């Protein structure tokens, strides 16, 4: 059976007119003799609206009941798609996560899929049906509805492709593919025809909004090729695939950035074994993600200054946790909310010397100060003043010849 998984994001199903458009796309694959499995997100804005209701009704709304509420968004869009396909003369029905079931494990609101029972869907496909499966959700061993992290419908689609052994997973969204950087920030951004799992994972983790990082990781682990395409354009999108399938003269393939960072510096921390763990343990216990970290030990070796970054939304909680931490002593806490992280990404960086120098030199020429640096084999990230974000991205885009690259 030639199975293909089609996933439609919230903007793709954001209105009745768009759902009609989606239905016609699905039919186009049926006419190409594919057996189609559809995974849909909730209509754009619906999940946020449902979430706001939970916040209004109770200060600490329980996560298990929140999952029940949030899962209804996908039910609506899936039923509308199935209803339209039947109106057009095709056999179709919606399937909720618990009806297959899609088995999950982990905490409510951040579960992960461990298994998808296939029999019901395969039998339905063999009869000529088009199953429309709710993304973002499943059921745990207690038979309670669970949801994945926000944007988890991508993960649902990729794991459907895995368990049903689909030839390909196509992610339909509101952009034409993956770009060298956010085209809303600079008009010089170019669409990338092919990108490796590793590069896409770094870009998604560093701020690119096209796909959720967890979904890219699942695709990479299971070697599932992904096409990212626009629902509203017939142009070819971006293929996310293995490194060996990439042929490019560009060492750097993309530039990612974030706007919602905060930098915290603890001045005069008493330097002793385990002090960093004492600082970060309460943050870990409160699910606060620490990103860039720099430690500078004084000449005498008795004190250290520790700098790290977090998401701006976690700042108040982090500040409170540090000030209430009886296990650490420091002279001063400095907070900077006006910072942004800019990252260059490319698998070619591993074998190409001089990339770090070129990045730093290009920024220095425009008098852009670097506050914090972090690196991996295929990325370099720098923390800069937020006011220099647009200029930095454009400078680096030009330095690494991405203005002329596809």
DSSP codes joined into one string, 326-367: TT---SEEEEEEEEEEEEEE-GGGGG-TTHHHHHHHHHHHTT
Pairing of strands 35-40, 3-8: parallel
293-315: b (≥16 Cβ within 10 Å) or e: ebeeeeeeeebbbbbbbbeeebb
User: What is the CB-side half-sphere exposure of residue 38 using CA atoms within 13 A?
Assistant: 34
H helices of 112-212, in order, are 119-126, 153-163, 197-205
Low-confidence ranges of the chain (pLDDT < 50): none
Strand spans (E) along 174-237: 194-196, 226-230
CA distances from 320 to 119, 283, 314, 316 (A): 51, 10, 10, 6
pLDDT the model gives residue 405: 54
CATH architecture for residues 255-399: 2-Layer Sandwich (3.30)
- Cis before residue 101, ω within 30 degrees of 0? yes
CA–CA dist 361, 257 (Å, integer):
19
The 3-state DSSP class for residue 393 equals: helix
**Residue spans per domain, the chain:** 3-174, 255-399
Are 384 and 371 in contact, with CB atoms under 8 Å apart?
Answer: yes
**Cα–Cα nearest to 192, from 175, 200, 184, 180:** 180
Residue 341 structure tokens:
């992280």
Other beta carbons within 10 angstroms of residue 75's beta carbon come to 16
Q: Which helix (H) or strand (E) holds 79?
A: helix 72-87
Alpha carbon distance 176, 157 (integer Å): 19
Give the list of residues 6+ apart from residue 134 with CB closer than 8 angstroms, or none. Answer: 39, 40, 71, 74, 75, 78, 94, 95, 96, 97, 156
Distance between CA atoms of 169 and 154, rounded to whole angstroms? 10
For domain 3-174, give its CATH number from 3.90.79.10, 3.40.1160.10, 3.40.50.720, 3.40.640.10.
Answer: 3.40.1160.10
CB 189 within 8 A of CB 181: yes
Burial of 216 (0-12, 13-18, 19+ CB in 10 A): buried
Entry pTM: 0.86
Residue 367: how many other CB atoms lie within 10 Å:
8
List of E strands, 231-323? 238-241, 254-270, 293-297, 303-311
Do the Cβ atoms of 391 and 368 come closer than 8 Å? yes
Taking each helix axis from N to C end, the angle separating 72-87 and 63-70, rounded to the nearest 10 degrees, works out to: 20
Burial environment of residue 387 by CB neighbours within 10 A (0 to 12, 13 to 18, 19 or more):
exposed
- The maximal CA–CA distance of the chain, rounded, in angstroms, is 79
Contact between 251 and 201 (Cβ < 8 Å): no
pLDDT of residue 394: 95
């Amino acid at each position: 059976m030639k199975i293909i998984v089609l996933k439609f994001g919230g903007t793709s199903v954001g209105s009745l007119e768009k759902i009609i458009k989606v239905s016609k796309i699905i039919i186009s694959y049926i006419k190409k003799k594919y057996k189609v499995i559809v995974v849909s997100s909730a209509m754009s804005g619906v999940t946020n609206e449902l979430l706001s209701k939970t916040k209004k009704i109770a200060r600490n709304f329980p996560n298990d009941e929140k999952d029940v509420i949030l899962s209804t968004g996908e039910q609506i869009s899936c039923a509308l798609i199935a209803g339209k396909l039947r109106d057009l003369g095709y056999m179709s029905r919606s399937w909720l996560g618990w009806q297959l079931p899609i088995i999950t494990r982990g905490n409510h609101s951040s579960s992960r899929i461990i298994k998808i029972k296939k029999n019901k869907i395969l039998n339905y496909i063999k009869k000529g049906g088009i199953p429309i499966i709710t993304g973002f959700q499943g059921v745990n061993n207690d038979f309670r509805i669970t949801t994945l992290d926000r944007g988890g419908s991508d993960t649902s689609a990729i794991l459907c492709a895995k368990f049903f052994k689909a030839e390909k997973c196509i992610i339909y969204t509101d952009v034409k593919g993956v770009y060298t950087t956010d085209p809303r920030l600079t008009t010089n951004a170019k669409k990338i025809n092919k990108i490796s799992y590793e590069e896409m994972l770094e870009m998604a983790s560093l701020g690119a909004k096209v796909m959720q990082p967890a979904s890219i990781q699942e695709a990479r682990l299971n070697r599932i090729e992904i096409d990212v395409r626009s629902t509203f354009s017939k142009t070819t999108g971006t293929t996310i695939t293995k490194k060996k399938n990439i042929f490019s003269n560009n060492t750097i393939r993309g530039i990612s950035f974030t706007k919602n960072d905060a930098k915290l510096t603890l001045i005069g921390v008493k330097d002793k074994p385990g002090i960093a763990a004492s600082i970060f343990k309460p943050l870990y216990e409160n699910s606060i993600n620490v990103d860039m970290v720099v430690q500078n030990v004084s000449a005498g070796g008795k004190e250290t200054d520790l700098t790290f970054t977090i998401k701006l939304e976690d700042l108040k909680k982090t500040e409170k946790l540090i000030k209430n931490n009886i296990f650490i002593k420091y002279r001063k806490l400095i907070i900077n909310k006006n910072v942004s992280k800019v990252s260059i990404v490319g698998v070619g960086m591993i074998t190409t010397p001089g990339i770090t120098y070129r990045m730093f030199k290009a920024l220095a020429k425009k008098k852009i100060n670097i506050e914090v640096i972090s690196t991996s084999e295929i990325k370099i990230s720098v923390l800069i003043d937020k006011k220099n974000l647009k200029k930095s991205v454009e400078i680096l885009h030009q330095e690494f010849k991405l203005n002329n690259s596809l």
